[in-house]
């Protein structure tokens, strides 16, 4: 089975055709040796949407071989930066053209509101592709003086080669773009493994790869179970790099597989338990808006989710009241309903995981001042939940929950706030809200995180690097920094004058 299926969008009755095969060499094909399939579920209704082919270890071999061949012949160093730029820009145009349809498909499989998928995830993806299209013909080495009369050295930033890219389900199109855009700009070829939970938009985007005119094998898409296709990519001897976004547990496995196979380069964008600190001088209404965005955006399924909130004791009760009011204003509902600001969480597994944390918070004695109860009926809906007076050793304070669950604690001094904020094994994001400029500078320096937001939260830009400190990851995505993840520096030493006397 590698035939496309026609899906009907429930809200509009509109039909979308989606490929269900593995995308290798610009064609949708069945597995070479497996009949396994992956069922895609609509998290708002719990209904099966369709099934797609689940790639096997052998399929990964075939996809890697296709990517290798393209790298050696039609891509890599065989094509100019101008041409790579042109094709990436074309792809961006096609995604922009199909934004509404892609957004509806994303909503069907992931649950997030259509307007958010279209205007944020896809809008940002188009911009990301264009940003890296701009870099494709500007990847420069250095000319280095060694000896003006006899010798010169220069560097080339060569494409690293065949890249395995393993992406999660929380931003399926966006994470696809963050990975694909810099890799293509640098001249790498790709075997993409989307999450088993949300493979549909990666398959739909693969059609656009063909339409844009990329040569066969440059981008391949192999939906597969993580323990099968993801593991095969990470341990593959002919993959030069693996880029991953997902949980810290899986990131650790990937790094281990890379080390045990061919020491392929690894970049990891992992979990977080990011703090937000609100000081007494802050604009409390604005701070509460950012706090709400920080933990409720994407229904909390966000690696940078600001899930721990520390509030100065002088404003503690007042600020919690404002936050609770803000949380009540967000409607979590079906993503096809225009009034929904957030959708269901992505799967039954995530839903159960979130509620087990909510239970553990209650058991541990944290005070639940909002949410925390299950809704009747179908769909994996979790309402915004706020626990206050939490203690540092509670599981809801230590673990990444990946849902709309906020843990609030108080602090007295700036030093205490920084201490509490940094008391985590993670270091992805951190936010602080204060109208004291010196305090903003001091605290932003002291926070241990790859990204610190001052008087805002969760906003990223394609030209600013993003990544984790501590166990939140290795390497950087976005900005010019991401180019380093997809290039390998070669130094060429050139002698045009020195004679070597021999023997020494
Ligand atoms: P996950 O296991 O990290 O999944 C992310 C990607 O890794 C998926 O494509 C997954 O494939 C793949 N994968 C799984 N096992 C693998 C292996 N052994 N080798 C290589 N690739 C593998 O995340 P999850 O299980 O879906 O979610 C669990 C938790 O991870 C969440 O609750 C959340 O805390 C965290 N998470 C973080 C992010 C983030 O943005 N940082 C994103 C997603 C999840 P399959 O989908 O086929 O398993
Ligand atoms: Mg998984």
Q: Spot the catalytic one: 104, 196, 207, 269.
A: 269
174 lines ligand 1 (CB under 6 A): no
Using pLDDT thresholds of 50, 70 and 90, give the confidence band for residue 2: confident
As separate numbers, helices (DSSP H) first and strands (DSSP E) second, the chain gives: 16, 22
Give the per-residue pLDDT at 469. Answer: 98
Shortest CA distance to 175 belongs to which of 227, 106, 235? Answer: 106
- What number is the average pLDDT over the span 429-453? 98
Over residues 391-418, the mean pLDDT reads 98
Question: Measured in Å, how far apart are the chain's first and last C-alpha atoms?
Answer: 68
Model confidence, pTM: 0.98
- Average pLDDT score over residue span 255-273: 98
Q: What is the DSSP annotation of 287-314? A: HHHHHHHHHHGGGG--TT-EEEEEEEGG
Element (H, E) at 23: strand 22-24
For range 332-350, the mean pLDDT = 98
448 is catalytic: no
Distance CA 141, CA 489 (A): 8
As a whole number, mean pLDDT of residues 443-455 equals 98
Above 60 in pLDDT, residue 260?
Answer: yes
344 pLDDT more than 80: yes
Ligand number, closest to the Cα atom of 169: 1
- The average pLDDT across 153-160 equals 98
CA of 226 to the centre of ligand 2 (A): 6
Which of 36, 174, 226, 272 to mutate for ligand 1's pocket (most ligand atoms within 8 Å of CB)?
Answer: 226
Q: Is the pLDDT of residue 160 over 60?
A: yes
- Of the pLDDT bands very low, low, confident and very high (cuts 50, 70, 90), residue 10 is confident
The answer for 328, left when phi > 0, alpha when psi is -120 to 50, beta otherwise, is alpha
Flag whether pLDDT at 394 surpasses 60.
yes
Q: What is the pLDDT of residue 164?
A: 98
Q: Does the beta carbon of 487 lie inside 6 Å of ligand 1?
A: no
- Average pLDDT for residues 477-488, to the nearest whole number? 98
Tell which atom from ligand 1 comes closest to the C-alpha of 225: 47
What's the pLDDT band for 423 if we cut at 50, 70, 90? Answer: very high
264 pLDDT above the threshold of 70: yes
The answer to whether residue 1 scores a pLDDT higher than 70 is no
43-67 confidence digits (pLDDT tens): 999 999 999 999 999 999 999 999 9
For residue 197, give the ligand 1 atom closest to its CA: 46
Using the atom order of ligand 1, give the atom closest to the CA of residue 347.
26
Whether residue 437 contacts residue 451, with contact meaning beta carbons closer than 8 Å, is answered with: no
Ligand 1 atom having least distance to the Cα of 249? 3
1-15, 185-199, 471-485, range with the lowest pLDDT: 1-15
Q: Set out the domains of the chain in order of their start, with CATH numbers.
A: 5-270 (3.40.605.10), 274-454 (3.40.309.10)
The whole-number pLDDT of residue 11 equals: 85
Strand residues in 25-70 grouped as ranges (E):
27-29, 37-42, 47-53
- If you take atom 27 of ligand 1, which residue's CA is the nearest one? 247
State what percent of residues in the chain have pLDDT above 90. 99
Rounded Cα gap, residues 3 and 238, in angstroms: 29
Is 254 near ligand 1, meaning CB less than 6 Å away? yes
Ligand 1 pocket mutation pick from 40, 250, 460, 475 by most atoms within 8 angstroms of CB: 250
Q: Are 433 and 276 in contact (CB under 8 A)?
A: yes
Indicate whether 77 pLDDT > 70.
yes
């Amino acid at each position: 089975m590698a035939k496309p299926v026609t899906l009907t969008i429930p809200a509009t009755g509109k039909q979308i055709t989606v490929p269900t095969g593995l995308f290798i060499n610009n064609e949708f094909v069945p597995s070479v040796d497996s009949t396994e399939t992956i069922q895609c579920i609509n998290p708002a209704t719990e209904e099966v949407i369709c099934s797609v082919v689940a790639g096997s270890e052998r399929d990964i071999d075939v996809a890697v071989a296709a990517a290798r061949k393209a790298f050696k012949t039609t891509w890599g160093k065989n094509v100019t930066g101008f041409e790579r730029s042109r094709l990436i820009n074309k792809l961006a145009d096609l995604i922009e053209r199909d934004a509404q349809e892609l957004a509806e498909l994303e909503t069907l499989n992931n649950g997030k509101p259509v307007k958010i998928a279209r205007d944020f995830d896809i809008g940002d993806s188009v911009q990301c592709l264009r940003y890296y299209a701009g870099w494709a013909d500007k990847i420069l080495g250095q000319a280095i003086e060694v000896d003006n009369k006899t010798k010169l050295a220069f560097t080339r930033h060569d494409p690293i080669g065949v890249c395995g890219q393993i992406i999660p389900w929380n931003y399926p199109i966006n994470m696809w773009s963050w990975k694909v855009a810099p890799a293509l700009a640098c001249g790498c070829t790709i075997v993409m493994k989307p999450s088993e939970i949300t493979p549909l938009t990666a398959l739909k985007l693969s059609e656009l790869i063909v339409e844009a005119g990329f040569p066969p094998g440059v981008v391949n898409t192999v939906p597969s179970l993580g323990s099968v296709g993801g593991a095969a990519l990470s341990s593959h001897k002919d993959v030069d790099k693996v880029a991953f976004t997902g949980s810290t547990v899986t990131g650790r496995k990937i790094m281990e597989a890379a080390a045990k196979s061919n020491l392929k380069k690894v970049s990891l964008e992992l979990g977080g338990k990011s703090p937000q600190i609100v000081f007494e001088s802050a604009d409390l209404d604005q701070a509460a808006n950012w706090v709400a965005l920080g933990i409720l955006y994407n229904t909390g399924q966000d690696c940078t989710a600001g899930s721990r909130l520390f509030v100065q004791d002088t404003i503690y009760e007042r600020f919690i009241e404002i936050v609770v009011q803000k949380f009540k204003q967000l409607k979590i509902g079906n993503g096809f309903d225009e009034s929904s600001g957030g959708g269901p969480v992505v799967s039954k597994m995530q839903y159960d995981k979130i509620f087990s944390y909510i239970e553990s918070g209650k058991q541990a004695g944290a005070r639940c001042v909002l949410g925390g109860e299950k809704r009747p009926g179908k769909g994996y809906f979790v309402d915004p939940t706020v626990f206050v007076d939490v203690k540092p050793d509670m599981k809801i304070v230590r673990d990444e929950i990946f849902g709309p669950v906020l843990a609030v604690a108080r602090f007295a001094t700036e030093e205490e706030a920084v201490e509490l904020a940094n008391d985590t094994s993670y270091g992805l994001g951190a936010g602080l809200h204060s109208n004291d400029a010196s305090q903003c500078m001091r605290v932003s320096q002291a926070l241990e995180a790859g990204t610190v937001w001052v008087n805002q939260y969760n906003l990223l830009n394609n030209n600013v690097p993003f990544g984790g400190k501590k166990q939140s990851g290795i390497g950087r995505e976005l900005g010019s920094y991401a180019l380093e993840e997809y290039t390998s520096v070669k130094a060429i030493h050139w002698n045009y004058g020195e004679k070597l006397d021999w023997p020494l």
